[in-house]
Amino acid sequence: MGQKINPIGFRVGVTKDWSSRWYADKTAYADKALEDIKIRKFLQDKLSTAGLKTVEIERTENEISIIIKVSKPGLVIGKGGAGVESLEKELKKLTPSKIKITAEEVKTPEIEAQLVGEYLCRQIKKRVPYRRVAVFAINSAIDKGAKGIKIKLAGVLSGSNTISRSEEFSLGSIPLQTLRADIDYAQIHCKLLYGTIGIKVWVYKGEIA
């Protein structure tokens, strides 16, 4: 296999579900797919401080149900649900369909690949040594119940006057070829003044029966 396939896509339909769940005929499919992309991009930019893990989209004929999984749901919901209402108003500019937003809390952000990757990016932007950050993230994930974690960083890791390279940190087991294995994966582009650092995170949470 060469391990060149996305671990999430490899398991879709077996142990993982699609992040967009709807059907459309060929005349409407492209428009709806583009709407999904715009909605996801908007929410990623808007909720970057709330610890956004995933955006799941379900459609009926004239309604879009958006399930947002975040580590800080209070920032999304707002006072008396005002945050959700303002999000719905802004999203109505992107689609003519009726929109319903549900915010779900991510209980352990330390073992969610997307949130681990974003944490690494934030710390690297603050110029914290990348080795210290990666080791801390790995130990936190294992302490919170992950069976294994692997982090790969690539780019000009030690600053602008250094050669681009990649480094890998791992602890525990990561059975990438086992379809039953619950592997969470994320890929982050961490944009710095002197270039982009690529961050890949694999988290093994155990086998799905």
In a domain, 143, yes or no: yes
- Greatest C-alpha distance within the chain: 55
Residue 159 domain-assigned (yes or no): yes
Asked, for residue 137, whether it belongs to a domain, the answer is: yes
Last residue of a domain, one of 64, 89, 105: 105
Same domain, 75 and 116: no
122 within a domain of the structure (yes/no): yes
Q: What is the CATH number of the domain that holds 169?
A: 3.30.1140.32
Q: Both 98 and 115 in a single domain?
A: no
* Entry pTM: 0.89
pLDDT of 62 reads 84
The whole-number pLDDT of residue 69 equals: 92
Does 198 lie in the same domain as 114? yes
Shared domain for 113 and 45, answered yes or no, is no
91 and 133 co-located in one domain:
no
Same domain flag for 96 and 27:
yes
| 113 and 201 in a common domain | yes
Residues 101 and 174 in one domain: no
- The reply to whether 146 and 177 lie within a common domain is yes
Q: What residues have CB less than 8 Å from 97, skipping those under 6 apart?
A: 59, 62, 63, 64
Q: What does each of the 209 residues of the chain score in pLDDT, given as a tens digit?
A: 455 789 999 999 999 999 999 999 999 899 999 999 999 999 998 888 888 999 999 998 889 999 999 998 888 888 877 888 888 888 888 888 899 988 899 999 999 999 999 999 999 999 999 999 999 999 999 999 999 999 999 999 988 788 999 999 999 999 988 999 999 999 999 999 989 999 999 999 999 87
Count of domains for the chain: 2
pLDDT of residue 21: 93
The rounded radius of gyration (Å) of the Cα atoms in the chain is 19
Tell me the torsion sign for CA atoms 14, 19, 23, 27: negative
- What pLDDT score does 126 carry? 92
- Report the DSSP beta bridge partners of residue 190: 197
**In a domain? residue 1:** no
Share of the chain above pLDDT 70, in %: 99
Question: Which domain range does residue 20 map to?
Answer: 7-105
Token pair in block for residue 189:
């582009």
Shared domain for 55 and 119, answered yes or no, is no
- Residue at 2 is within a domain: no
Q: Which of 105, 131, 149 is the last residue of a domain?
A: 105
28 & 84 share domain:
yes
* Among 89, 105, 121, residue at a domain's last position: 105
Tell whether 123 and 90 lie within a shared domain.
no
Instruction: Give the tens place of pLDDT for each residue, 19-38.
Output: 999 999 999 899 999 999 99
Kindly state whether residue 155 falls inside one of the protein's structural domains. yes
Q: What pLDDT score does 3 carry?
A: 59
Cβ neighbours for 104, distance < 8 A, ≥ 6 positions apart: 67, 68, 69, 70, 73
Give the CATH number for residue 53.
Answer: 3.30.300.20
Are 54 and 88 contacting, i.e. CB atoms less than 8 angstroms apart? no
- Give me the pLDDT at residue 73, please: 85
Does a structural domain hold residue 93? Answer: yes
Both tokens of residue 179?
Answer: 């379809």
Query: In sequence order, which ranges of 18-153 are alpha helices (DSSP H)?
Result: 29-46, 73-77, 82-91, 113-125, 130-143
pLDDT of residue 2: 55
